[in-house]
Amino acid sequence: MEKGKGKPLTHGAGDLPAVHVNEYNFELRNRDGFIGDKANKRAFQEILERWRKGARGNGLDPLGRKPTADLSKREIDHFLTKDKSMTAAVVWSAVEEFAHELSEVLSRFLAQESWKGTEKIIVGGGFVSSAAGALSIARAQLILGEQGNAVELIKIRHHPDDAGLVGSAHLLPRWMLKGHKAILAIDIGGTNIRVGIVLLNRNKAKNLAHAKVYKSRIWRHRDEKPSRTASVDRLAAMLTDMIAVASKKKLDLAPAVGIACPGIVEEEGSIARGAQNLPGGNWEGDHFNLPEALRKVVPKIGDHDSFFIMHNDAVVQGLSQLPFLTGVSNWGVVTIGTGLGNAHYTNKPPGNG
């Protein structure tokens, strides 16, 4: 940390350059378990399968032979507009039921003290990149409005795959980015790991409104089931590859690397809980520190010592929306994927960061 540049940066920080993170990874329970499990990708698949089974009782399966869990977002979206009314009706029914489940979960969040006064909720995750996902979000907002919750649901602006990378730039104070064209970012999930180069484009907007992913690599680790050590080695190789790409294209990289990771992130870089779906297991507890492990295998970026900063993946994905929330004070994010990530923020006055 340079002298006079403020307090040292910590992992999982509540006080970020432009926002306060009021809460994240908030876990609400009822007698059936975590209520967030009612509004994730698997929940939608279970709802769709139930409506599909009901339709099978009247004849052939309207969605064909492929198992529900194997249907792609594109295939499901195609069924929404298919000429056969029963096919479209099955998917529309699933969208409607899922929207009610999502609105119920969001209403529970909005009732919490930390979410009071929420003006907007950003909805991210892979599910929102489909037409079925977008319809579910729109319908959930109407349901919340009928219940008296005047909150706006907004589909995340960046593609969900990019948002988890772009948001890392907002973990860093602007002085750390000064003079650099790009940063490296990592997004770790229960199925995939992405590593990318994020162009800052600060010449177009100091608030990073034009930041975008220049190039990225994806590794579907769930297919390989690697150990934790092998995962760190693969991550290091992906970072080295991206550093080489940036060097070839003369993209001056900041020496800071942002990491988005599931779970509760402690300030020293360990993960307290919530990382059970990561490859190889044993990512939790003070016995393992991912930022430090990566710093050892990628000690330098260009001529500078490397610096890794890590936060929760929902927090980072939500931060990608920050430049487009001018005039908003309190807002939240939910990410619909393998789980239901969540975070809540209060914007600092203009000029911070």
* 273 vs 186: which has the higher pLDDT: 186
Asked if residue 3 has pLDDT above 50, the reply is no
Lowest mean pLDDT of 54-58, 81-85, 220-224, name the range. Answer: 81-85
> What is the DSSP code (8-state) at residue 286?
T
> What is the DSSP code (8-state) at residue 338?
S
Asked if residue 202 has pLDDT above 90, the reply is yes
Q: How far apart are CA 251 and CA 245, in angstroms?
A: 8
Asked if residue 209 has pLDDT above 60, the reply is yes
- Give the number of other CB atoms < 10 A from CB of residue 109: 22
Lowest mean pLDDT of 25-39, 129-143, 169-183, 247-261, name the range. Answer: 25-39
Kindly state the average pLDDT of the residues 200-214: 95
Q: How far apart are CA 290 and CA 99, in angstroms?
A: 36
pLDDT confidence bin for 349, thresholds 50/70/90: confident
What's the mean pLDDT when you consider all of the chain?
91
- Give the number of other CB atoms < 10 A from CB of residue 26: 18
Tens digit of pLDDT for each residue in 14-39? 999 999 999 999 887 777 767 788 89
Residues of the chain with pLDDT > 90, as a percent, come to 76
* 6 vs 217: which has the higher pLDDT: 217
User: Can you give the residue ranges of every domain in the chain?
Assistant: 29-155, 161-320
Query: What are residue 304's DSSP bridge partners?
Result: 301
Phi-psi region of 6 (alpha: psi -120 to 50; beta: other; left: phi over 0): left
User: Dihedral sign, CA of 211, 216, 221, 226?
Assistant: negative
Q: How far apart are CA 270 and CA 286, in angstroms?
A: 5
pLDDT confidence bin for 4, thresholds 50/70/90: very low
For 221, residues 6+ apart whose C-beta sits below 8 A from its C-beta are 191, 192, 193, 231, 234, 279
Class for the domain spanning 161-320:
alpha beta
Phi and psi at 257, nearest 5°, equal -120, 125
Asked if residue 352 has pLDDT above 70, the reply is no
Tens digit of pLDDT for each residue in 244-279? 999 999 999 999 999 999 999 999 999 998 888 888
Q: How far apart are CA 278 and CA 185, in angstroms?
A: 18
Collapsed DSSP state (helix, strand, coil) of residue 152: strand
Asked if residue 77 has pLDDT above 80, the reply is yes
pLDDT confidence bin for 11, thresholds 50/70/90: very high
